């Protein structure tokens, strides 16, 4: 209750969020302050605001709640059948190409697990795992962080996708570059290559989905760098051009926090994603 009141800055909103009667929350907060022996909030007509004491307690409250959640995961690990919620993240490209068979298999094998998949750019995925908002995530490119464990998942080949053949790479100077927003690892690779080649596209157009990007390349809006595996599912009207060897291969890693206890649901997911797809053997 204290954490919710601190977040909302209002006892009435916190009570509504928690589905409690407001007087109950008011009484519990008052009892907490009496037990500790100091006030935790500044009261005013518009609501409540944490004072210095409250800020200190909030830091510990978050840790207490986190440890409670970890203790439940620890107990669940001893259960033969995984259960609960598993929230993982992925780049859109990996989610579109590599995860469907894994997710399908996982859903059918462990129906009692509520598996939630969220897609973001690599930078955002790393932040969400570090903030413990995702239990794990598939990211593009290597990462060296003291709090993270990274397991190699796949090595992907990138390709330059064009509406029509290029006579030379300098043709890109007269074309639009279709990319994801900043934080996309593929975009950083493409921009680095272009800087080295002295290429300056006419305009940079940002997209949020792979399908929209491919559709606009087909319409002649510009060029893009996409995982080659994705293009296998599309018609052959587009031109695929190889990137230099040092830029054509990207590794996908699955990252988790080192200090987070793996739930049984996460352990089984990691086991499943590590099994080679029989179609690739």
CATH code where residue 212 lies: 3.40.190.10
Do residues 255 and 119 both lie within one domain? yes
Lowest mean per-residue pLDDT among 172-176, 250-254, 270-274: 172-176
Cβ pair 122, 91 in contact under 8 A:
yes
CA atoms within a 13 Å half-sphere pointing along the CA-CB vector of 279: 3
Average model confidence (pLDDT) across the chain: 87
Question: Which domain covers residue 204, as residue numbers?
Answer: 157-247
Do residues 196 and 65 both lie within one domain? no
Residue range 177-218, pLDDT digits in tens:
888 877 678 888 888 888 888 888 888 888 878 888 888 888
Do residues 146 and 268 both lie within one domain? yes
Q: Which of 51, 76, 101 corresponds to the end of one domain?
A: 76
> Per-residue b/e over 62-90, b at no fewer than 16 CB within 10 Å?
eeeeeeeeeeebeebeeeeebebebbbbb
Do residues 269 and 240 both lie within one domain? no
pTM over 0.85? The answer is no
Do residues 168 and 243 both lie within one domain? yes
Do residues 210 and 263 both lie within one domain? no
């Amino acid at each position: 209750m204290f954490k919710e009141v601190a977040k909302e800055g209002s006892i009435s909103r916190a009570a509504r969020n928690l589905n409690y009667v407001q007087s109950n929350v008011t009484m519990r907060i008052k009892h907490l302050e009496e037990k500790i022996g100091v006030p935790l909030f500044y009261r005013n007509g518009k609501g409540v605001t944490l004072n210095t004491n409250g800020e200190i307690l909030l830091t510990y409250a978050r840790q207490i709640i986190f440890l409670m959640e970890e203790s439940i995961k620890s107990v669940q690990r001893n259960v033969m059948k995984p259960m609960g919620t598993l929230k993982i993240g992925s780049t859109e490209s990996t989610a579109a190409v590599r995860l469907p068979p894994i997710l399908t298999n996982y859903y059918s094998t462990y129906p009692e697990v509520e598996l939630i998949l969220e897609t973001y750019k690599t930078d955002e995925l790393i932040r969400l795992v570090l903030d413990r908002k995702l239990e794990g995530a598939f990211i593009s490119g290597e990462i060296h962080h003291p709090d993270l464990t990274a397991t190699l998942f796949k090595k992907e080949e990138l390709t330059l996708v064009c509406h029509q053949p290029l006579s030379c790479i300098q043709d890109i100077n007269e074309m639009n570059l279709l990319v994801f927003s900043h934080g996309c690892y593929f975009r950083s690779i493409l921009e680095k290559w272009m800087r080295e080649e002295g290429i300056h596209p006419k305009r940079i157009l940002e997209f949020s989905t792979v399908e929209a990007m491919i559709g606009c390349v087909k319409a002649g809006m510009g060029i893009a760098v996409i995982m080659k595996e994705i293009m296998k599912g599309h018609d052959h009207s587009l031109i695929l051009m190889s990137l230099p060897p040092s830029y054509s291969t990207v590794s996908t890693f699955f990252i988790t926090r080192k200090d987070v206890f793996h739930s049984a649901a996460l352990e089984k997911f990691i086991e499943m994603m590590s099994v080679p797809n029989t179609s690739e053997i």
